[in-house]
Amino acid sequence: MQGWKTYELKELVSLSKEKYNPKKETENLPCIELEHIEGETGRLLGHTNSLDQGSIKNRFKPGNVLYGKLRPYLRKFYFPNFEGVCSSEIWVLHNNEEKIHNKYLYYLVQTNRFNENANKSTGTKMPRADWSFMSEIIFPIPPLNEQQKIASILSTWDKAIELKEKLIEQKKEQKKGLMQKLLTGEVRLPGFDGEWKKVKLAKVVRKTKGKAVEYIEGGKFPAIDMDYLESGTFKNYSNDATVFAEKNDVLLLWDGSRAGMAFTGVEGAVGSTFVKLECKSIHNIFLQKHFEMNEQRIQRLREGSGIPHVPKDFLDYYKVKMPSMEEQKAIAYVLNNMDRDLELLWKEVAYLKEQKQGLMQLLLTGKVRVQV
């Protein structure tokens, strides 16, 4: 690769050693913790105030690159345009301006090569990326003018992803507002004017508690478990479907920190942390959207000093306000269409991210050169 040179990481980057002690400081700065950085996007979700902290933090300046060193938070990175402090579990990377542009460094820490090496950590309890190991990893680096061009190209993809994600947030807010209006009867769809009635859940659904599922490779039934809930895809299968969900059933997460979350439209063996609600005289999507709208309210009802769970008599006292079945179907159709629009937008974001990863692999390795 003509013009490219190889460097150990320590020749390109140094770790900032500036510290911030909230007990000795008077200046209040934004404080970024690992949970404030969205993984694999570099988006800042929020921050706290430095003077409210009880521990020593790392200082950063505009143009430094932040990188989460604590597993499983690798691939958390941020490019600040302001001065602040951050968790001691975040590296503050300062670029050697004669060899690497800071925005190019920002993209370098996103590459598979950087993260795979960072993942080769020592320690057992809370493994961390090891700087003494990482600092000796060799990276091929183009001239500064080519670095700036590459960073500019990749920034275009970042802006496109950011715009799509902002549109998703707007759509989610629109959906939230529409659910509040349609699912309470505040706004009626054209052609409907009948009275709504409030009924106990026990009157309109039949509950069956899920059972522990034994996973079998190549099993007959997809297992509806926490792995499915977190990934949206079936990873586990079973030959036993003692409690089997049909597509028109609503599945309510009964135990755990997210107890109260509901979904519908899947078939499979229901795991022990869920209950199956067979909809007798209520539309499944109408009920699922009602739960979605009231998820925080349901979570406030949770019991248990150990694992939180929905109260056993939940169905006997929890009431749902519902219109005729035809109006329920119409409401479900409108809200389902909004979900489909959001799903398409998420797919577009995933495609843009995939394109960006492919470009980084080509541009940051020199497989494809840019004209400068």
CATH number, domain at 126? 3.90.220.20
Q: Which of 135-144, 303-312, 317-326 has the lowest mean pLDDT?
A: 303-312
Minimum mean pLDDT range among 114-118, 125-129, 304-308: 304-308
Query: What is the pLDDT, as a whole number, of residue 305?
Result: 62
In a domain, 204, yes or no: yes
> For a pLDDT cut of 70, what percent of the chain falls above it?
98
Instruction: Determine the length of the chain.
Output: 372
- Whether residue 364 is contained in a domain is answered as yes
Residues 69 and 118 in one domain: yes
Question: Does residue 50 or residue 126 have the better pLDDT?
Answer: 50
pLDDT tens readout for residues 57-86: 999 999 999 999 987 777 899 999 999 999
CA distance 28 to 52: 9
The amino acid at residue 32 is: I
Decide which of 258 and 324 is more confident. 324
Compute the mean pLDDT over every residue in the chain, rounded to the nearest whole number.
92
Residue 267's domain comprises 197-322
pLDDT at 71: 79
> How would residue 110 be classed by pLDDT, with cut points 50, 70 and 90?
very high
pLDDT at 256: 83
For residue 119, name the pLDDT band (cuts at 50, 70, 90): confident
Assess whether 41 and 114 both reside in one domain.
yes
Q: What percent of the chain has pLDDT over 90?
A: 77
CATH number at residue 355: 1.10.287.1120
What pLDDT score was predicted for residue 13? 97
Cis ω before 222 (30° cut-off from 0): no
Answer yes or no: do 310 and 333 share one domain: no
The total number of structural domains in the chain stands at: 3
Residue 1's pLDDT is 72
Could you tell me if 115 and 101 lie in one domain? yes
Is 339's pLDDT higher than 90?
yes
Co-location of 222 and 301 in the same domain: yes
Is the domain of 154 the same as that of 214? no
Tokens of 287: 């009920």
Q: Which of 297, 322, 347 is the last residue of a domain?
A: 322
Q: Which residue has the higher pLDDT, 71 or 247?
A: 247
pLDDT at 257 (0 to 100): 80
Both 313 and 206 in a single domain?
yes
Whether 111 and 36 map to the same domain: the answer is yes
Angle at CA of residue 179, ends 175 and 183, nearest 5°: 165
Residue indicated by tokens 């003509």 = 2
Q: How high is the pLDDT of residue 125?
A: 64
Say if 191 falls within a structural domain.
no
User: Over the stretch 153-205, which tens digit does the pLDDT of each residue have?
Assistant: 999 999 999 999 999 999 999 999 999 999 999 999 999 999 999 999 999 99
pLDDT at 303: 74
Diameter of the chain measured on Cα atoms: 76
Three-state secondary structure string covering the chain: CCCCEEEEHHHHEEECCCEECCCCCCCCCEEECHHHEECCCCEECCCEEHHHCCCCEEEECCCCEEEECECCCCCCEECCCCCEEECCCEEEEEECCCCCCHHHHHHHCCCHHHHHHHCCCECCCCCECCHHHHCCCEEEECCHHHHHHHHHHHHHHHHHHHHHHHHHHHHHHHHHHHHHHHCCCCCCCCCCCCCCEEEEHHHHEEEEECCCCCCCCCCCEEEECHHHHHHCCCCCEECCCCCEECCCCEEEECECCCCCCEEECCCEEECCCEEEEEECCCCHHHHHHHHHHCHHHHHHCCECCCCCECCCCHHHHCEEEECCHHHHHHHHHHHHHHHHHHHHHHHHHHHHHHHHHHHHHHHCCCCCCCCC
The pLDDT value recorded for residue 289 is 96
